[in-house]
């Protein structure tokens, strides 16, 4: 598919950062319906992406974030990515919350 622009990724992250969307994504594997919602919201920003493109980009961002995060956790500061802070705001707390839940 065509390359995602910085603005498109920002918009995707903005939609993704919605608590409601996050909760839906955390609780499911079959998430076509959720990404159809995400695509519909992006359309309101004038961004024309289908649900598959949104899901693929979401997965790629999440994967890249995790690899940067684990590199940083092991003391490496060389690995970085665009939007790391935005993603950390969304994903960083999830892992912490889940970790604290399993402690009790």
Domain-located, residue 103: no
Q: Are 57 and 12 in contact (CB under 8 A)?
A: yes
Domain-located, residue 43: yes
What residue numbers bound the domain in which 72 lies? 6-94
Residue 83 has pLDDT above 50, yes or no: yes
Domain-located, residue 1: no
Reported pTM: 0.83
Name the CA dihedral angle for 58, 27, 44, 8, rounded to a multiple of 10 degrees.
Answer: -10
Q: Are 60 and 87 in contact (CB under 8 A)?
A: no
Domain-located, residue 29: yes
Question: How many domains does the structure of the chain reveal?
Answer: 1
Domain-located, residue 54: yes
Residue 100 has pLDDT above 60, yes or no: no
Domain-located, residue 101: no
Please report how many Cα atoms fall inside a 13 Å half-sphere around the Cα of residue 77, on the Cβ side: 0
Q: What is the pLDDT of residues 22-66, one digit of tens each?
A: 999 887 778 999 999 999 999 999 999 999 999 999 999 999 999
Position with higher pLDDT, 1 vs 73: 73
Q: What is the maximum alpha-carbon separation in the chain? A: 46
């Amino acid at each position: 598919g065509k390359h995602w622009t910085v603005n498109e990724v920002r918009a995707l992250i903005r939609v993704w950062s919605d608590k409601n969307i996050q909760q839906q994504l955390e609780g499911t594997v079959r998430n076509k319906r959720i990404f159809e919602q995400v695509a519909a919201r992006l359309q309101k920003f004038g961004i024309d992406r289908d649900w598959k493109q949104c899901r693929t980009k979401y997965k790629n961002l999440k994967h890249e974030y995790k690899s940067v995060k684990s590199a940083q956790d092991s003391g490496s500061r060389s690995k970085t990515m665009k939007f790391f802070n935005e993603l950390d705001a969304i994903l960083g707390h999830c892992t912490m919350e889940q970790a604290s839940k399993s402690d009790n």
